[in-house]
Amino acid sequence: MAPAFFAINPKLVDGTPFDPLTTTTTTTNDHPSPIVIWHLVLPSFPSLSLSFSDPTTTTTTTVIPLESDQVTTALDALYPQLSTRCSAGPSLDRLNTCLANHETFSLFLATEVFSTSTSSSTSPLQEPSGVRITKIVGALTLVTLNLLMKSCAHIEDVVVDGSCRGRGLGKGLMRRALDEAVHTHSCVMVDLTSNPNRIEARTLYQSLGFELRDTGVFRYTVPQYRK
Ligand SMILES: CC(C)(COP(=O)(O)OP(=O)(O)OC[C@H]1O[C@@H](n2cnc3c(N)ncnc32)[C@H](O)[C@@H]1OP(=O)(O)O)[C@@H](O)C(=O)NCCC(=O)NCCS
């Protein structure tokens, strides 16, 4: 059966490219699996189609196929950690609908990676056979807006599994999203909101250069969704 999703363009949490083809990892208590930040895309994502159809392309895209269960089960565990009002992650239909809007919607995943062998693939689309994503432990959503005078972005739903906090995953997800917003989408500003009780999140955002603004956020909530 064809995989539902692909995880592409792996980077370590510090932002350096991760090459699963040359990295062999043995996981022990002293050497845990590396944490890698991926961009989750549908098989129809443009750069994948390009790599599939044009073997002469010079750009190499590293991809790992992911089954739908692996993604939805992980998000079911992560999203309730964002809010007590959230009892599960998105449905598969919703996830597919959002990912189909790849020009404005990006989902980044922090994952543990286990690599058992190397491959000498010369294809522009590298699917390293011995590399597995063992666990999805963090997620972040980036939404970009193309306005008449500028492009800007919103970061939403930043979450790292309770068992993996304090190891740089949140910062890695944020840096990856900022890089995508600024360099891929030419955004000139990136907004987010964060409840004052979320000390860890607010410290994280400020450490990356986000500044608290006092313009106020106005929100219209559809009456039946008001608390
Ligand atoms: C916010 C969250 C994503 C941070 O993830 P994380 O992987 O633990 O964060 P990192 O390890 O990358 O830490 C990055 C920075 O965050 C801040 N930070 C992290 N944990 C902190 C803590 N317990 N107290 C204060 N600051 C903290 C620090 O500035 C840290 O940088 P430093 O290590 O250089 O000091 C995570 O705590 C989380 O998922 N919380 C629950 C969901 C949530 O609140 N999401 C945000 C919604 S707005």
Domains, the chain, with CATH or none: 5-225 (3.40.630.30)
Looking at this protein, which amino acid is placed at residue 36? V
C-alpha distance from residue 80 to each of 84, 102, 141, 198 (Å): 6, 25, 15, 15
Q: State what percent of residues in the chain have pLDDT above 90.
A: 68
Q: What's the first-to-final CA gap in the chain, in angstroms?
A: 43
How far apart are the C-alpha atoms of 47 and 197, rounded to whole Å? 40
Q: In the predicted model, what is the mean pLDDT of the chain? A: 88
Tell me the two tokens of residue 83.
Answer: 């809010």
For ligand 1, is residue 102 a contact (CB within 6 Å)?
no
What pLDDT shows up at residue 204? 98
For ligand 1, is residue 7 a contact (CB within 6 Å)?
no
- For residue 172, give the ligand 1 atom closest to its CA: 12
| Contact between 51 and 124 (Cβ < 8 Å) | yes
Question: What value does the mean pLDDT take over residues 40-62?
Answer: 77
For ligand 1, is residue 81 a contact (CB within 6 Å)?
yes
Q: State what percent of residues in the chain have pLDDT above 70.
A: 82
Run of H or E including 146: strand 131-146
For ligand 1, is residue 171 a contact (CB within 6 Å)?
yes
Q: How confident is the model at residue 1 (pLDDT cuts 50, 70, 90)?
A: confident
Which residue puts its alpha carbon closest to atom 31 of ligand 1?
A: 204
Residue 50 has pLDDT above 80, yes or no: no
Q: How confident is the model at residue 131 (pLDDT cuts 50, 70, 90)?
A: confident
Which residue, among 122, 200, 210, has the nearest Cα to 164 in the 3D structure?
Answer: 200
Tell me the two tokens of residue 36.
Answer: 């890698």
| Contact between 110 and 172 (Cβ < 8 Å) | yes
For ligand 1, is residue 154 a contact (CB within 6 Å)?
no
Least confident of 15-19, 120-124, 137-141: 120-124
